[in-house]
């Protein structure tokens, strides 16, 4: 594909940028469009994976047939089979009529399955049969039906890790990834960031009938070097906020910084699994992360006990006192712990005037904050929602859980967004 054809595709679908990784992904999408091969689109949340599915469908022989996008993570587990494959009347409570599923209504067209990693294992088996034989069975029926649907799947997770954790079928993974396309994250397209911002700013200036905002040099550098965890979606939101709220149309780095969220690449601790993989990927549910953190806290308390006993049993208390202080600082450099001589009742002279009767330190440890797992979980969910301004999908991604799980937690903890 020459540059003119690529530029034509970008103009047609509103794609902005010239990063090599982006151009390569577009070339693969165009080349595979006129086939019936299954495509797996990989990329972080907010990079525009659905646009690639629309490119593939629009440039294919199926372009005049139906296209539907399905967010697998937004459909409850109990109804997703019915949504995809349909159901018969009376097959479950509430099934008052027969219903066609997406694979029946989109026959001859294309179905885009976003967040494919959220599919339950049972639904994965049904999908595999569709991909391999073009067959499916409605829920509550025994009649095999045929369908001719092209499947384009997308995920923001590493499916191979889910396969290793037993949460995704290996045969389905290889069947889906006949042609893989990886859409680059915005932080890997630094040369496109300012170009995208200018386009968004111009669009919002036209929409709100205001002047288009501009960035000074320091603001440009800040914009380019920000990690953009929300990718293009986040950049567009920032451009809209600045267009509406900024009084000065020449935005400085200080002004821009007010709109950018504090962000760390280490938002959650990396937990190492004995097998060498990422333990977070193999957790049965998100509560286990909290359990791991509390176990680590308990280990720290045990270590503090050991050092405390060493200080009291050694006659040279001054020396041990200094070492103890250093170890405490290493363990908790920012905790603002009280001076050990005061906290443990040791005279400042370093001399133990009388034998100290030791009791279990646990009897004297006062923990002001709640260590209840559910309280902590609720607190993390509320923080994530505030951070992402109530956007469930972004909050769920930040927490490392599915949007469906987040929705269930909101109901469980009665959290009002």
pLDDT tens string 290-323: 555 655 666 666 666 666 666 666 655 455 555 5
pTM for the structure as a whole: 0.62
- pLDDT mean over 126-147: 94
Q: How far does the chain reach from its first CA to its final CA, in angstroms?
A: 47
- pLDDT mean over 353-370: 46
Pairwise CA distance, residues 241 & 246, whole Å: 8
pLDDT score, position 390: 84
pLDDT, tens digit, for every residue of 392-408? 888 888 888 888 888 87
**Cβ neighbours around 262 below 10 Å, total:** 6
pLDDT, tens digit, for every residue of 11-44? 999 999 999 999 999 999 999 999 999 999 999 9
Give SS3 for 79.
coil
pLDDT for residue 366 is more than 70: no
Domain assignments of the chain as residue spans, ordered by start: 3-182, 187-257, 289-363
pLDDT for residue 271 is more than 60: no
pLDDT, tens digit, for every residue of 207-220? 999 999 999 999 99
pLDDT, tens digit, for every residue of 315-325? 554 555 555 45
**Cβ neighbours around 39 below 10 Å, total:** 25
| pLDDT confidence bin for 168, thresholds 50/70/90 | very high
- For residue 327, what is the DSSP state? H
pLDDT score, position 43: 95
pLDDT, tens digit, for every residue of 218-258? 999 999 999 999 999 999 999 999 999 988 889 999 999 99
Angle between helices 392-399 and 373-387 in degrees, nearest 10? 130
Helix (H) or strand (E) holding 322: helix 317-331
Instruction: Return the top range by mean pLDDT from 134-138, 286-290, 319-323.
Output: 134-138
Residue bearing the bigger pLDDT, 410 or 53: 53
Q: State the chain's mean pLDDT as an integer.
A: 81
Do the beta carbons of residue 41 and residue 183 sit within 8 Å? yes
Helix (H) or strand (E) holding 378: helix 373-387
Residue bearing the bigger pLDDT, 370 or 96: 96
Pairwise CA distance, residues 138 & 145, whole Å: 8
Do the beta carbons of residue 121 and residue 169 sit within 8 Å? yes
Do the beta carbons of residue 276 and residue 282 sit within 8 Å? no
Q: What homologous superfamily does CATH list for 3-182?
A: P-loop containing nucleotide triphosphate hydrolases (3.40.50.300)
Give the CA distances from residue 205 to residues 195, 212, 251, in Å, rounded to whole numbers and listed in that order.
15, 5, 14
pLDDT, tens digit, for every residue of 101-131? 999 999 999 999 999 999 999 999 999 999 9
pLDDT for residue 97 is more than 90: no
Least confident stretch, 74-78, 159-163, 372-376 = 372-376
pLDDT, tens digit, for every residue of 54-89? 999 999 999 999 999 999 999 998 899 999 999 998
Fold topology of 187-257: Helicase, Ruva Protein; domain 3 (1.10.8)
């Amino acid at each position: 594909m020459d540059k003119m054809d690529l530029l034509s595709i970008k103009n047609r679908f509103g794609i902005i940028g010239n990063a090599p990784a982006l151009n390569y992904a577009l070339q693969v999408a165009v080349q595979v469009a006129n086939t019936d091969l299954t495509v797996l689109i990989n990329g972080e949340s907010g990079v525009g994976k659905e646009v690639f599915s629309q490119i593939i469908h629009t440039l294919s022989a199926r372009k005049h047939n139906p296209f539907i996008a399905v967010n697998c993570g937004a459909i409850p587990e109990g109804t997703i089979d019915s949504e995809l494959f349909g159901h018969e009347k009376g097959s479950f409570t509430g099934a008052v009529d027969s219903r066609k599923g997406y694979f029946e209504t989109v026959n001859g067209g294309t179905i885009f399955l976003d967040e494919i990693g959220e599919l339950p294992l049972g639904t994965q088996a049904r999908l595999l049969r569709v991909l391999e034989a073009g067959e499916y069975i409605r829920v509550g029926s025994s009649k095999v039906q045929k369908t001719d649907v092209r499947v384009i799947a997308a995920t923001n997770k590493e499916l191979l890790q889910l396969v290793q954790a037993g949460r995704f079928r290996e045969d389905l993974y290889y069947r889906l990834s006949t042609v893989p396309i990886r859409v680059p994250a915005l932080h890997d397209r630094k040369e496109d960031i300012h170009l995208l911002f200018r386009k968004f700013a111009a669009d919002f200036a036209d929409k709100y009938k205001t002047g288009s905002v501009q960035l000074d040099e320091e603001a440009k550098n800040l914009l380019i070097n920000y990690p953009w965890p929300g990718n293009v979606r986040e950049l567009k939101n920032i451009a809209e906020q600045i267009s509406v709220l900024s009084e000065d149309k020449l935005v400085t780095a200080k002004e821009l910084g007010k709109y950018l969220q504090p962000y760390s690449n280490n938002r959650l601790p990396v937990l190492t699994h004995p097998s060498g993989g990422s333990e977070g990927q193999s957790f049965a549910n998100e509560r286990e992360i909290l359990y791991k953190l509390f176990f680590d806290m308990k280990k720290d308390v045990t270590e503090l006990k050991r050092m405390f006993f060493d200080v009291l049993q050694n006659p040279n208390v001054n020396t041990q006192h200094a070492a103890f202080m250093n170890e405490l600082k290493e363990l908790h450099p920012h905790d603002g712990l009280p001076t050990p001589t005061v906290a443990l009742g040791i005279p400042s002279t370093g001399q133990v005037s009388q034998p100290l009767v030791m009791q279990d330190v646990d009897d004297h440890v006062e923990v002001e904050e709640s260590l209840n797992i559910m309280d902590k979980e609720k607190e993390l969910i509320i923080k994530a929602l505030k951070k992402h301004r109530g956007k469930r999908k972004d909050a769920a991604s930040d927490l490392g859980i599915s949007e469906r799980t987040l929705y269930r937690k909101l109901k469980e903890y009665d959290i009002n967004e």
